Amino acid sequence: MTTLVIVDVQNDFCPGGSMAAPRGADVAAKLKDFLSANAGSYDHVVATQDWHIDPGSHWSDDPDFQDSWPVHCPAGEPGAQLHPLVPTAPIEARFKKGMYDAAYSGFEGRLDGEEDGALLGDWLRERGVTDIDVCGIATDFCVNATVGDALEQGFTVRVLSDLSAPIDEDGAKAKLEALAGRGATIVEDSATL
């Protein structure tokens, strides 16, 4: 069983948002085309979302851009919503993360952001998922953390790098190389799937 995990393709991470990845909107547009052509190839499609209620020191007026960041993705606000180009019909479940602290990995997210909602890894295992494809924003932060946790939890992982947008191109390249070294397959052209 294979699942597509769409990581944080949200308004605040796209141009015009408070923490935009330069190619964020391009990824949303490519993802729309990819899902149109490939949604039926997956047993499940899920999305993760930063969903901050009160994340403490994760938000800062003087961010260091490693552990603290400008205000972004406040729960229920437009910046926290999925980018409008991302088709929501194929998305079976949403895993919201970072309500009260920093959370980078989608595997920290809970179903619908509910305190007792299933964690992403548990939800996938309950459905017999063994393989996941991961894409989204930002390659060098939340995509990287999600893929790392997926590998640690025993999933077979492909990273759809052309459907992912980094904050820093060089940093993302190094992170992708490290993930490949840990066993992830890096797919540079998702049209070949």
**Rounded CA separation 125/25 (Å):** 31
Is residue 135 among the annotated active site residues? no
DSSP of 63-124: --SSS-BSS--BTTSGGGSBPTTS--TT--EEEEE-SSS---SGGG-EETT-TTSPBHHHHH
Catalytic residue among 30, 50, 73, 97: 97
Query: CB under 8 Å to 5, separation ≥6 — which residues?
Result: 46, 47, 48, 106, 120, 132, 133, 134, 135, 136, 146, 150
Is 8 catalytic? The answer is yes
Residue 142 annotated to the active site: yes
Catalytic site residue from 8, 50, 133, 149:
8
Catalytic position from the list 14, 73, 135, 142: 142
As annotated, the active-site residues are 8, 97, 142
